Amino acid sequence: MLVKSYIQVMPILKEISNEAKRKCYDDAMKIIDDFCAINNIKKPKISLLDNKKCDSKGYYQPTTKRIYVLPKNCSVPTKKPGFSWSYPGYKADVTPFGVLLHEFGHYMHYIYYRPEYSALAKNEKVSSYEPNEGERIAETFKLFLGNPDLLKKICPLRYKLMIKSGLKPVIKKSWQKVLENAHPDFHNAINNRISS
């Protein structure tokens, strides 16, 4: 109930002013459109919000079946990793791209839940943000939509489960191609994780 009343005072954002964040958001929207089309899934309602008092980057509200993204709270893609390691298609991604795909994962969890989602391997982690089943599912969807080859490499059981559940990925490129414009440190970190 708190979330519902909170949303009512949040002004809707008409435009994302930051060009990098706009591209991230538009790219994620295209992937969601294509994913819904090839998997025969009804696209959720998605709104951009502007609220300086909210710490959230985005959230899914089950009662309205709506995804909210707060671009001002999202990151821009990291140019050189150091303190921040956020990049579209990388396992850690709090750009509008990753936030929107993550929240879409919550939508899939609530609306198109399949019992096999509960079987997502707990010993395979997409990212460090997986405190419960819902977040495991959302993080898995984030990568399944944004960089399925990377999910296949770092969490093969999760990737197989998504395919076994009948879902088809949109992106067919290798993880290296998806991240071709990312700093080499992203590639090195992935190669280290794959080899360990």
pLDDT given at position 24: 96
pLDDT given at position 9: 46
pLDDT given at position 14: 61
Residue written as token pair 């992937």? 31
Dist CA 182 CA 85 (whole Å): 10
Could you write out the three-class secondary structure of 21-38?
HHHHHHHHHHHHHHHHHH
CA distances from 111 to 41, 63, 130 (A): 10, 11, 20
Domains of the chain, residue spans: 15-195
The tokens for 149 are 């080859």
Dist CA 144 CA 148 (whole Å): 4
- Single out the residue of 169, 164, 113 nearest to residue 144, CA to CA: 169
Print pLDDT tens along the chain (196 aa). 334 444 444 556 666 678 999 999 999 999 999 999 999 999 999 999 887 677 899 999 999 999 999 999 999 999 999 999 999 999 999 999 999 999 999 999 998 887 777 777 777 888 888 888 899 999 999 999 999 999 999 999 999 999 998 999 999 999 999 999 999 999 999 999 999 8
95, 86 in Cβ contact below 8 A?
A: yes
Task: Identify any residues that bridge with 68 across adjacent strands, giving them in sequence order.
Answer: 47, 59
